[in-house]
Amino acid sequence: MTTLSTHTPDGRPRARGLGIDLPGTPGLLNAITDVPGFEVGVTTLVEGDRMRTGVTALLPRGRAGVGDPCAAGWYSLNGNGEMTGTTWIEEVGALNLPIVLSNTHAVGACHTGVVAWVNRVHPGLARQWLLPVCAETWDGYLNDINGGYVRPEHVEAALDSATGGPVTEGSVGGGTGMNCYEFKGGNGTSSRLVGYGAHTFTVAAFVQANFGSRTELTVAGRPVGGALADDNPLGGDWFVTEMGQAPPPPGAGSVIVVIATDAPLLPGQCKALARRVPLGLARTGTTGSHFSGDIFLALSTAEAPGLGSAFPVGPPREDEFGSMRFLPWGRMDDLYTATVHAVEEAVLNAMVVNAEMTGRDGHRTPALPHDRLQALLR
């Protein structure tokens, strides 16, 4: 019997569906939408032989909750990438807008699209300043990244389509043209349940995976990349031929990770979760290439009235004080563990729920071979 934690709604296996032994207890969907209220939408753009890109939209409190602040923090393992809006998050410790992921040269279109969407859906909020989070990874091997394919209306479509429930993984949305460990990569997600006294909290990860060299790949603690090193058209000669310069070293690429939880946290505690993301990535083998932009955002969807960003009206009232409930710092370890394990599985899901893709100029990326991987793990 299969479940949504192990298989996609159409029956394809996820990492657990291949029998990969992974730690921790996932939520019902094993996805970021296990966090109550979280919604995900995608616009996938595949046309002809050059367009392989798209947009992923993440709404932490859903469409209705845009404008309500979430405690948030971010961390960069390596800054060879872009995530807008982070200076404001650093300043106030809060996020109140959607998060949008796409390709490197589409960040401007994504920013414009989020502003247009908020102006249409929440016009009162749009009268303030808007500093959306738009992040990217490079899909220029399979996609004509200078084709200008992602437009603001595609961003609005992804936001309009956002919903709870199962999350589509693999080559969809912003992950459409991405590669991971020189296999086909893209979108992946996973969640963990964390007991806390009488409470059960969810910690979940969403990744746009586009990083790692083939020989680094590690699955469930087993270094398997060397045994899967054949059939690797991303090896570098294409870059020399087309770009007229030395290829980037193996491992180049990027990864964006969003961590969400319903546990009540301070902004600094969210940042602490974001700092644990590299430990989950490392469990899949990467050592963090200089040519990979590895940027992470963590947020809590627990109520955070003390982080409200509305303009104050008149002088402060006598009782105008913010308040937040949060886990004691000494009780954070189980959330750290859940973050690390969810990130590891999200990366594997992005690779397992995928298929070979051919894109611009005949460039081909093979899929992770399920049967060979299972044989190696046995």
Kindly give the pairing relationship between strand 183-184 and strand 179-180. antiparallel
Angle at 369 between CA 366 and CA 370, to 5 degrees: 145
Largest CA distance in the chain: 69
Do residues 205 and 58 lie in contact, with contact meaning Cβ atoms separated by under 8 Å?
no
Active site residue 300: no
Picking from 268, 263, 303, 276, the residue whose alpha carbon sits closest to that of residue 70 is: 303
Residue owning tokens 């899909």: 139
For the entire predicted model, the pTM comes to: 0.97
Task: Tell me what pLDDT residue 239 has.
Answer: 66
Annotated catalytic residue 5: no
DSSP letter (8 states) at residue 163: B
CA atoms within 13 A on the CB side of 372: 11
Domains observed in the chain:
15-226+251-301+326-372 (3.60.70.12)
Whether residue 333 lies in the annotated active site? no
Read off the amino acid at residue 280: G
CA distance 33 to 168: 11
- CB count, 10 Å around CB of 71? 29
Catalytic residue, from 171, 254, 289, 300: name it: 254
- Residues 293 and 100: their CA atoms lie apart, in Å, by 16
pLDDT at 235: 78
Marked catalytic residue, from 171, 190, 292, 300? 292
Catalytic residue among 190, 262, 294, 300: 294
Show the tokens assigned to 340.
């690390």
pLDDT reported for residue 232: 92
Which residues, 6+ apart, have CB-to-CB distance to 88 below 8 Å?
A: 131
CA-wise closest residue to 104 among 277, 253, 244, 278: 253
What is the residue-level pLDDT of the chain in tens, covering all 378 positions? 579 999 999 999 999 999 999 999 999 999 999 999 999 999 999 999 999 999 999 999 999 999 999 999 999 999 999 999 999 999 999 999 999 999 999 999 999 999 999 999 999 887 778 999 999 999 999 999 999 999 999 999 999 999 999 999 999 999 999 999 999 999 999 999 999 999 999 999 999 999 999 999 999 999 999 999 999 998 766 666 666 666 667 778 899 999 999 999 999 999 999 999 999 999 999 999 999 999 999 999 999 887 865 667 788 888 888 888 999 999 999 999 999 999 999 999 999 999 999 999 999 999 999 999 999 999
Q: What is the reported pLDDT for 40?
A: 98
Burial class (CB in 10 A: 0-12, 13-18, 19+), 25: middle
Nearest alpha carbon to residue 133 among 44, 66, 34:
66
Contact (Cβ atoms closer than 8 angstroms) between residue 45 and residue 66: no
